[in-house]
Chains A and B, each alone.
Chain A
Amino acid sequence: MRKVLILSLAAILSLALAASAGQYPARQIAITVPAAPGGASDMTTRIFTSQMEKLLGVPFIVTNRPGASCSIGMEYVKNRAPDGYNLCYIPVESVMIRALGLTDLSSDDFDFFARAMTIPAALTVRKEAPWNTLDEFLAYAKANPGAVKTGNSGTGSIWHIAASAIEEATGIKLTHVPFEGGAPAVAALMGGNIDAVTVSPSEVQAGVDSGAFKVLAVLGEKRSGVVPDVKTALELGYDIKVLGWGAFAAPKGTPPEILSILEKAAAAAIDSDEVKKFFKERGFDHAYLDAAAMSAFAKAQLAFYDEAIPKLGIASK
């Protein structure tokens, strides 16, 4: 009995040693999705890891830890060992939750190794609405402050900030109506209970296809693949850019040699046909950034939201 115990202990020890000394990656990698199964973050991570498994030759275990605008899952990964075996999907919420007062954590607590995709906000109204362009919409809203009821996916959510960024940039006043997620807001728009929504293009795609909705502007870096004919706000001459994004990162302090292995693999994985096809079908924009560019992007985003969120007038204490 004792012999077995000693032997198995020795075996475990030698395995652990091999893992630490040998080539990365030596064993399975855990990756946390801070959102519920079945959503955009979850699906993106699962497609991404299926490619990473092929490239790195080790299994990836995806675990969903949803809650508190992604804080719970990110907090969990932040407190793991920075050894390259604990990775995290990092959504746009990472640059927002500190300003919202939910937690002290921010994108600064992570070492990014890739950005995979972006999802712009799309200002959408019903077909029979009297506005056909962004300018007409803004002119009406300016003449009638508070008359346009704009739905978003929750107070302090990215799509709420999208609507408030329009207010901020153009001086109009909207009535914000928060819902529990984007889908109920779209339903309320379709049912005629609100006048506009600022959510992702893929969420309004069904309505656009059926002719129930029209998209007035997209608030992304470039036009959305879902509604390629709709101009961005930037093209229309307004400096409004609000978009969701998904990136991958490890806890701060992960050795640079491990990060560069991950970065190289992630670049190939995100560039694969499978991932591109998935993004196209789900209406996300393929928007790869390497580690350095992503870190700079996250810093800029963090600064933007630190300033934008207090202006929403929601209590953060």
Chain B
Amino acid sequence: MRHKSDLVSTGAFMAAAILFIAGALRLGVGSATSDGVPGAGFFPFILGLIILVLGAVQATLFFRDRGEKKASFALPPDRRANVARIAATVGGMLGLFVLWKLVCFEAAAPAFCLFLNRVYGRGWLFNVVFSVLMTLLIHLLFTRLLYIQFN
């Protein structure tokens, strides 16, 4: 069995390589001082080409059905809930940062812990104790001992 995500990811690398090559050509592959020293675009250009070649080999393997099969985004039905948890974790981190910048860290951190622990199905008592302790610890460590300003 081969996975479409395999081809998509290879394509993404190749697309990135093409973008870099286009940028590199605009920067100039040769040097302005022209004594044989490569210019600003030389290195990214070569790297982009290497990735294109390797990507092409990888894509060929895919079409001959020899792509890698170990990891993929496919999940057995009983673990579909994990996808929601990932979304919640990613969203929670975004929320943490927005709340931190809009209000303050000392409000954002416990809110983040409470939310994620809830999503992961932890008990309320553990949740509250963990959130308060974690925030306190980070606050003390970073702002009091290491003089890092959070706000």
Contacts and interface: CB of A to CB of B under 8 A. Distances in A.
Do chains A and B make direct contact within the complex (CB under 8 angstroms)? yes
Interface in A276-317: 313, 315
Give the interface residue-count category, chain B.
under 10
Nearest to B148: A63
Contacts of A63: 148-149
A62 B32 CA distance: 42
Interface string A124-157: 0000000000000000000000000000000000
A61 B147 CA distance: 8
Contacts of A61: 147, 149
Contacts, number: 8
Contacts of B32: 313, 315
Nearest to A62: B147
Q: Which secondary structure characterizes the binding site on chain B?
A: loop
B43 to A, nearest CB: 15
Contacts of A30: 149
Interface residues of A, number: 6
Nearest to A313: B32
A62 B148 CA distance: 9
Interface string B32-67: 100000000000000000000000000000000000
Interface string B139-151: 0000000011100
A313 B31 CA distance: 12
A30 B147 CA distance: 12
Interface in A60-80: 61-63
Nearest to B28: A315
Nearest to A61: B149
B18 to A, nearest CB: 23
A315 B28 CA distance: 12
Contacts of B148: 63
Contacts of B149: 30, 61, 63
A61 B32 CA distance: 46
Nearest to A30: B149
Contacts of A62: 147
Interface of B: 32, 147-149
8 contacts: A30-B149, A61-B147, A61-B149, A62-B147, A63-B148, A63-B149, A313-B32, A315-B32
Given A61-B147, A61-B149, 6 more contacts: A30-B149, A62-B147, A63-B148, A63-B149, A313-B32, A315-B32
